Structure 1
Amino acid sequence: MFFVDTLEIEGLGNRSYLAGGAGTALVVDPPRDIDQVITAAARRGVRIALVAETHVHNDYVSGGLELARVTGARYLVPARASVAFTRTPVTDGDTYAVDDGLTVRAIATPGHTPHHTSYVLAEGGREVAVFTGGSLLIGTVGRPDLVDPRLTGQLARAQHSSAHRLADELDDEVAVLPTHGFGSFCSAAPAEGASTTIGEERTGNAVLTQDVDTFVAELLSGLDDVPAYYAHMSPANAAGPAPVDLTAPKPADAEEIASRLAAGEWVVDLRNRVAFAQGHVAGSLNFEGDGKLATYLAWLMPWGKPVTLLAETPEQVAEAQRELVRVGIDRPAAAATGEAADWIRPGERLASFPRARFADLAEARERGERVVVLDVRRDAERARGSVGGSVHIPVHALPHRIGDVPDGVVWVHCAGGTRAATAASLLHAAGRAVVAIDDGFDAAAEAGLTAPAPESTG
């Protein structure tokens, strides 16, 4: 009897899979921190015999090369992918034994990348699941615009063709097991559920219900922003990622924290936004450890700049390290744990700024206060509604556009509060007076603040 275990990579919104039988197993699209994959295999009592990549990933650094090296597994990589390391090149129709009576067959499914390949798992000749990577997702498909702008239209059409090939070749009950679509920016839209089958996608996924021209037009019109760090992921994967080092960073005292801030380095406070607003090291930036830490820190931070982590416990630092190595931020320059008061030099004071609700913003306007309202959501979010008179600069653009924020006290909002806290910390570090709106955006309408049509200065 076969098994498929799902490994959730929650911070990035991705999944990896361990699939096998009684003795050996296959791993599909492994994360860079391979210890969790090895642990999952040990729990099952199986040896990892195959490691398969559906494509050279654009959104994270793969652990496939290292996992294959450590376990002695064959490393399956699409033959058309240009990589700098030795691997087993996979072509359409290639079949590999996973365990007794269990095989995996490659199906070329270009679209997310030109070389994208899906893998069909079969037990006793009966196909039971397909690992679709960034091809057919739950209710959507993987983005076609991450490789080369000149190829986007061609790849969008290829996505349509690849999805139809899967639907034509596979039975309705075959489980669809994608890598992307659970919050990943590699997905063209959010996944519509936790699991699916070919039959469910056949009736509910636009790629399988629309003609190619309609599908491509709607797909391309709905694409969201691309995180800046994606530009570094594919080259790192093609070159062959180095093993990770998850040992504790060098401890930093108050003097070193101050010195690193003075040098223009990033000092990142991982505490929750409430604690940060109440008191933090002046100049430090707030990226909540239980939010999309890797995505937003890698997106906003100048690539390669040293980063020092501040957290309440060593465990929080360790978890942040694990998330950051997945996007190529390999070693924090230093770290400090404990209370915020431990991170400042004698005689210094912690910085702070107020938090508020949308109702408080409405009251401030009613009192005639001159305030700047800054919306740091993405373009697609703002298109669905905005606060009247607000300035729009997405949080990922803010580090380069702080000078575009008008003078005055800046009330910052996003959709729920996390990105607003990060944006407020960036502005506060730059010397601006800020109020972080910690509220769901629905409350803006309830407070009478939303405009009938979006307004934007950026």
Structure 2
Amino acid sequence: MPDTAADQQHAAPLPGVTVRVIDTASLGDRSYLVHDGTVAFVVDPQRDIDRVLDLLETDGVRLTHVFETHIHNDYVTGGFALAAATGATYLVNADDQVSFDRTPIHDGDTIDIGGRMRVRAIHTPGHTFTHLSYALSHGDEPIAVFTGGSLLYGATGRPDLLGPEHTDALVRHQHASAHKLVDVLPDTTGVYPTHGFGSFCSATQSEATESTIGQEKRANPVLTQNEQDYVRDLLAGLGAWPAYYVHMAPANAAGPGAPDLCLPARADAAELRRRIEAGEWVVDLRTRTAFAAGHAPGTLNFGLDGSFTTYLGWLIEWGTPLTLLGETAADVTQAQRELVRIGIDRPAAHATGGPQDWTPDVAVSFPTATFADLEQVRHHRDVVVLDVRRAEEHHASRIHDAVNIPIHELVRRLAEVPPGEVWVHCAAGYRASIAASILDAAGRKLVAVDDQFENAAKAGLHLVGPDA
């Protein structure tokens, strides 16, 4: 069973039941397997359902129900496939428009599971109009609530993913839904959200890893602010969200099947060159340090050690054939697992090894540097400073005269990068490495700044902006 930093499972203590928390750190989401030692239910499973199946076998329990809190916008669900594989009942809001057979569930419905667990559906619109939360009781007292994209740790799900025409209504629904939960559930109720661990589905981010209704009442802005202040502050803080999100809800409404994680066909160096010349994406999965030191010309770097899925899914034109390059087959398999979660099901090809195996020509490279190096070089010659952070990050604090083209806009705005030697930076190096590979493939002379942005001021660079 996968057990990497991106795929961790752990148990959360609750009286009379076990909650298995299945983290998908790469997308900032959690799924939950809950059981009483005999029977189990799952909330919001990810696409790679083998993780759930392995946990069922490990714990020796039988899955009877699969619940969806909402039609997800940031990943392809595994709910339909998991229910098909196990014979479990698949519960989706009766008001959601889907094209598959499901068991419809309504606000207020209660489902008995195994005689000792009861799950009650609570309509909590805000992230979507049909969003449901699920309160779990063991005996007569609610002990947990699975809140999906509604009440998160110190935050709420963002209300703008269904389009600007719905945002105002949804953000006000989100405020009311959070208050509804705290009105009907005791303070001791454990809160188990799906989003909020780095997901762009969360309006803001929190470092918390567990919470209760009582803790959220004391600290969550949605519960400490009045509606007007909450709406104003939340909407002011919303930024861009990944472009691939537009493909997730349609895929989920269609009932996605189980993914195929077998390795795609192997490509040699000549085929890789043909694919690059045809405009396909050939993606090097190695770290940014390894890529900068040497890579096949025209390849792009999305390292598995960063937010690989989010940024590849955000930048690639949907449907572009994709070939994966990894040092080992395990790297390619890991990348496939990440990609199926957002609906990129079958890469066109793969290759393993290193640059010497991936190009019929000589490998190319580009230099890396720190912000201290940038401060020094600006004394000697003019260079272009390209900031690929999001617009709100750039506005808050930026290097004087830096050009801001957010990473998710760079491919279509390459012509806007000023002529000259480009020093590209982000907040910590990962996005800069992606941008550097795009610039390198376009033939630009560049230096990738692999450094923490907080070091820019320490290096003596002139920063401007309200947070400078």
1:359 maps to what in 2? 372
- Measured in 2, the distance between the counterparts of 1:426 and 1:83 equals 38
Q: Secondary structure at the match of 1:51?
A: strand
Residues 37-116 of structure 1 aligned to structure 2 (within 5 Å): 37-116=52-131
Output the TM-score relative to the length of structure 1: 0.98
Q: Which residue among 441, 444, 448 is the counterpart of 2:460?
A: 448
Q: Is the 8 A contact 2:49 2:258 kept in 1?
A: no
Partner of 2:397: 385
User: 1: CA distance between counterparts of 2:408 and 2:125?
Assistant: 30
- 2:329 matched to 1:317? no
Hey, what's the Cα distance between the residues in 2 that align with 1:218 and 1:237?
A: 31
Partner in structure 2 of residue 156 of structure 1: 171
Of 362, 368, 373, which residue of structure 1 is paired with 2:385? 373
Distance 2:189 2:63 in 1: 23
Letter in 2 for 1:358: F
Gaps of 5+ in 1: none
Q: CA deviation at 1:80?
A: 1.2
Q: d(CA) in 1 for partners of 2:142 and 2:395? A: 43
* C-alpha displacement of 1:328: 0.6
Secondary structure of residue in 2 paired with 1:366: coil
Aligned-residue CA RMSD in angstroms? 1.0
- Structure 1: distance between partners of 2:369 and 2:329: 31
Task: Indicate whether 1:280 and 2:287 are aligned.
Answer: no
Structure 2 residue 426 is the aligned partner of structure 1 residue 414: yes
Residue in structure 2 matched with residue 2 of structure 1 by the alignment: 17
Question: 1:392-411: per-residue Cα shift (whole Å, max 9, x none)?
Answer: 00000000000000000000
| Contact map agreement 2:399 2:464 (CA 8 A) in 1 | no
The one-letter amino acid of 2:368's match is R
Deviation at 1:101, TM superposition (A): 1.2
CA distance in 2, matches of 1:362, 1:353: 19
**1:413-445: CA deviations, max 9, x gaps?**
000001000000000100100100000001101
Deviation at 1:125, TM superposition (A): 1.5
Work out the CA distance in 2 between the residues paired with 1:244 and 1:78. 24
Matching residue within 215, 220, 236 for 1:205: 220
Whole-angstrom CA distance in 2 between matches of 1:308 and 1:213:
48
What amino acid maps onto 1:356 in structure 2? A
- Distance in 2, matches of 1:223 and 1:89, equals 33
How far did residue 380 of structure 1 move?
A: 2.1
What's 1:426 paired with?
A: 438
Tell me which of 305, 310, 325 is aligned to 1:295.
Answer: 310
How far is 1:454 from its partner?
7.3
The structural deviation recorded for 1:22 is 1.9
Give the CA deviation at 1:308. 0.4
| Separation in 2, partners of 1:454, 1:193 | 27
Looking at structure 1, the residues matched to 18 and 392 of structure 2 have their Cα atoms a distance apart, in angstroms, of: 39
Is 1:147 the counterpart of 2:162? The answer is yes
Equivalent-residue separation in structure 2 for 1:451 and 1:278 (angstroms): 30
Q: 1 CA distance for matches of 2:206 and 2:86?
A: 32
Between the aligned partners of 2:194 and 2:99, the Cα distance in structure 1 is: 23
- AA aligned opposite 2:383: V
CA distance in 2, matches of 1:148, 1:214: 22
Find the partner of 2:279 among 239, 244, 264: 264
Q: Which runs of 4+ in 1 moved over 4 A?
A: none
The aligned amino acid for 2:20 is D
Q: Distance in 2 between matches of 1:189 and 1:177?
A: 17
Give the aligned partner of residue 399 of structure 1.
Answer: 411
Post-superposition Cα deviations, 1:37-95, rounded to whole Å, max 9, x if no partner, equal 11111111111100000000000000000000000000010111111111111111111
User: Post-superposition shift, 1:447?
Assistant: 1.1
Distance 2:114 2:366 in 1: 59
1:383 Cα deviation after fit: 2.4
Q: Which amino acid aligns with 2:171?
A: A
Deviation at 1:287, TM superposition (A): 0.3
Deviation at 1:243, TM superposition (A): 2.2
Asked if 1 retains the 8 angstrom alpha-carbon contact of 2:283 and 2:324, the reply is: yes
Q: Percent identity?
A: 55
Listed one character per residue, the Cα deviations across residues 365-388 of structure 1 (whole Å, up to 9, x for unaligned) are 112x11000000012212220011
| Local SS of the residue matching 2:183 | helix
TM-score by length of 2: 0.95
Q: Is the 8 A contact 2:191 2:211 kept in 1?
A: yes
Check the 8 A contact 2:40/2:61 in 1, yes or no: yes
Residues 21 and 100 in structure 1, CA contact (< 8 A), matched pair in contact too: no
Distance 2:351 2:136 in 1: 46
Q: Given that residues 90 and 103 in structure 2 are in contact (C-alpha distance below 8 angstroms), is that contact kept between their aligned partners in structure 1?
A: yes
* Contact in 2 for aligned 1:20/1:98 (Cα 8 Å): no
The answer for unaligned runs of 5 or more in structure 2 is 1-15
- Amino acid across the alignment from 1:370: D
Shift of 1:211: 0.8
Greater CA deviation, 80-89 or 353-362? 80-89
* Rounded Cα–Cα distance in structure 2 between residues aligned with 1:149 and 1:242: 31
Paired residue secondary structure (2:411): helix
Distance in 1, matches of 2:377 and 2:178, equals 52
Amino acid corresponding to residue 51 of structure 1 in structure 2: V
User: Is 1:385–1:450's contact at 8 Å kept on the other side of the alignment?
Assistant: no
Q: 1:186 aligns to what?
A: 201
User: What do the CA deviations read for 1:214-272 (whole angstroms, capped 9, x no partner)?
Assistant: 11111111112111100100011011113210001111110110010011100000000
Question: Alpha-carbon deviation of 1:129?
Answer: 0.3
Deviation at 1:98? 2.0
Counterpart residue type for residue 41 of structure 1:
L
Give the AA of the match of 1:339: G
| Aligned: 1:330 with 2:352 | no
Tell me if structure 1 keeps the 8 A contact 2:411–2:438: yes
